[in-house]
Each structure stands twice: as C-alpha cells, then as structure tokens.
Structure 1
Amino acid sequence: MRGRKPNPQRLRILRGNPGKRPLTSARTSPFVVGTPQKPADLDADASAEWDRLVLLLGGEHGVLCEADYGILLIAATAYSMFKRAERAIAEHGATYETERDGLRMTRPRPEVRIMQQERRAYQAALAELGATPAQHARVSPLPNDSEPKGIAKFFEPQRPRRG
C-alpha cells in the first residue's frame, strides 16, 4: 500500500502544514478556486446537500474549485438516495415477510442495502473533499490580516508559560 492519500494544497495550507514540507506554489495548480455551478436537475435533498457542502467548503474554508463538480455531485446524489431509502424504511419497515413452500421467511428490504451503499459512497465523497468531521476538526483557520507581520510579530507580548 502507498500510505495516506495526499491532501489538496489549499487544505494543507488551512491545516497549517505541520510537517513543514515545502508546498507547491499556487501558480502550478491548473485548477481555479471557485464554486462549481449547481446542476439544475437535482432533487430537493440533493440540492440542499449541495448548498450545505458548498457553504461549508467554499465559503468557510475556500477549498473548492471547478474540478470538484463531479465529487460534489456524487456526494449530493448519494445523500439524496440515502434519505429516500431512509424514508422508505421508516414507512414500510426494515424487513418484509415472504412465504415459500409453506415456510415464512423474514428478509431485509432492498432499501436497507441501498442505504448502506449510499452511505459508503457519501462518506467516500466527503473524505475526497476533506469534509469528514475528523478532517474538518484538523483544519485551522487562515491567519487574519490584522496579525503583525515581519519583525513586528517578535514584539508581541508573550503569554505566560504553564507548568
């Protein structure tokens, strides 16, 4: 195995580059940062999830680019299918009974399997976007412009040490 998947550069910048490895310059990236256009044919659940993900990743952290269109579409449609299966299970139950050769059998509804598959697809898409709760917790905010720069940062009052 190769190890961990590399993170997008903008996500590495937000996390603070703890390994201090050199980052490639933004000029070498062929992708332009921006929000992908939402498809018009999304249903209500998928559209709401698209908007939520764009707000989370595009607005708050600015890590989206036009190349993320496909993975956002996968995440939104997987979420929509998951919710549809969840509603069907709530309405009809998780199992159904059949009778064969005089024997009654209880079987899981097809929506149970659909729900499991769509959950996996959704989680994979979120991991690809860097939007899982574990990855989101590791993202540190970008520095403010009001922070002192250059030599001025050395003249700030220091915080008392603990211990």
Structure 2
Amino acid sequence: MATRGRKPKPTALKVLEGNPGKRPLNMNEPKPEKKAPKCPSWLEPEAKKEWRRMTKTLEKIGVLTKVDAAAFAGYCQAYARWKEAEEFLTKHGTIFKTPSGYIQQVPQVSIAQTYLKIMKNFCSEFGLTPSSRTRIRVGAETGKTDDPMEDILRMV
C-alpha cells in the first residue's frame, strides 16, 4: 500500500531541529548505533576517497550510523561517477560534430546531470546541503523545558 504525503522525518532530525511542528515524537523509533559503517570494498577508488573524507564528520554529528552503509555508499558512488563525467567534460567539451555534420551533446552531460540529482537526494538525507543544514541545530536540547507540564504536553 502506498503512503501519501511527505515521508516521515527521523525523530533524531526532529529533535535537532527543535521539533518545529510540535507534534508528538516517535519514542519507539529504532535507534541504530551512531558509528560509521565500514567502507565497502567494491566502491570505486574515488568513491572510497569521498567515503573517507565524509565519514568522520557525519559520525561526529550523529547522522551516519552502521545501518546507513548502503545509502552512504550510494552517495559516494554517485559522487565518483559525477566527478568522472565532469572531468571528461572539462577535458573534451560538451558537444561534438557527428560524421553527418550535426552538432550533438556528449553523453557525459546527461550522465553528470543524473548523478548530480542522485547525489543531491542523498545529500538531503545526510544534511549535506546548506538548506538541509539550516533545519538542524547541532547540540540542540532534547525538547525538554524548565516547565514539567510543558514537557508532558509536548509528549502528547
């Protein structure tokens, strides 16, 4: 059965954002260990570089956990392929002339655009874009106030 509306936001992100909607938090949500997963051996070399570059930072802020291996690997692989396509475009240009004389766009243009979109989606999930970061307050309180009654009302 398909769900409607926006996909639910993880409770950890709601807490970091200060629970702006003031809706009840899901206290039964799974809480995986906040530890970076091991880098998959099958990643391309450039993807492995990106993995090493980003894992410590994401682990430190509590966004990357062991269960996020596939999603983060997807981001890193998309990054590597996007970079490869962009390097090709820098070296060879974006258009070429066909044998019949027509001007045509090289396939790497659409490859780069595709992988950039995939990267953007993964970046949003991990808080790696400026707009997704504005919704996160690192070190934010757990939503508790000095007023116990207010805390109880927020839980309902």
What band does the TM-score fall into relative to the shorter chain? 0.7 to 0.9
Are the equivalent residues in 1 in contact too, given 2:11–2:29 (CA < 8 A)?
no
**What is the 5 A alignment of 1:21-100?**
21-25=23-27, 28-29=29-30, 31-59=32-60, 61-100=61-100
SS in 1 for 2:83: helix
Per-residue deviation, 1:44: 3.6
Structure 2: which 5+ residue stretches go unaligned? 148-156
CA positional deviation for 1:37: 1.0
Q: Shift of residue 18 of structure 1?
A: 1.7
Partner amino acid, structure 1, of 2:89: I
Q: Which has the higher contact order (CA 8 A, sep 6+)?
A: 2
Q: Which amino acid aligns with 2:33?
A: V
Which is higher, the Rg of structure 1 or of structure 2? 1
* Partner Cα separation in structure 2 for residue 89 and residue 15 of structure 1: 39
CA distance in 2, matches of 1:135, 1:80: 22
Q: CA deviation at 1:143?
A: 4.3
1:106–1:20 distance in 2 versus 1, CA, 3 Å: same
Match of 1:106 in 2: 103
- How far does residue 121 in structure 1 lie from its aligned partner after superposition? 0.9
Separation of aligned partners in 1, 2:90 and 2:29? 50
CA drift of 1:42 comes to 2.8
Match of residue 19, structure 2, among 13, 17, 20: 17
Within 1, Cα distance between the matches of 2:9 and 2:26? 12
Unmatched 5+ stretches in structure 1:
152-163
Does the 8 Å contact 1:71/1:129 carry over to 2? no
Provide the C-alpha distance between the structure 2 equivalents of 1:99 and 1:54, rounded to a whole number of angstroms. Answer: 47
- Percent of residue pairs identical: 32
Instruction: Tell me if 1:118 matches 2:115.
Output: yes
1:11–1:130 Cα contact (<8 Å) kept:
no
| Residues 32 and 65, structure 2, Cα contact 8 Å, conserved in 1 | yes
**2: CA distance, partners of 1:110 / 1:18:** 43
Cα RMSD after superposing both structures: 2.3
Task: Report what 1:132 is aligned to.
Answer: 129
Conservation of the 8 A alpha-carbon contact between 1:57 and 1:131: no
Instruction: Name the amino acid aligned to 1:109.
Output: V
CA contact (8 A) 2:17 2:140 kept: no
Q: Structure 1: how far apart are the matches of 2:26 and 2:122?
A: 24
Q: Deviations over 1:102-145 (max 9, x none)?
A: xx11101111111011111111112233332211122112148x
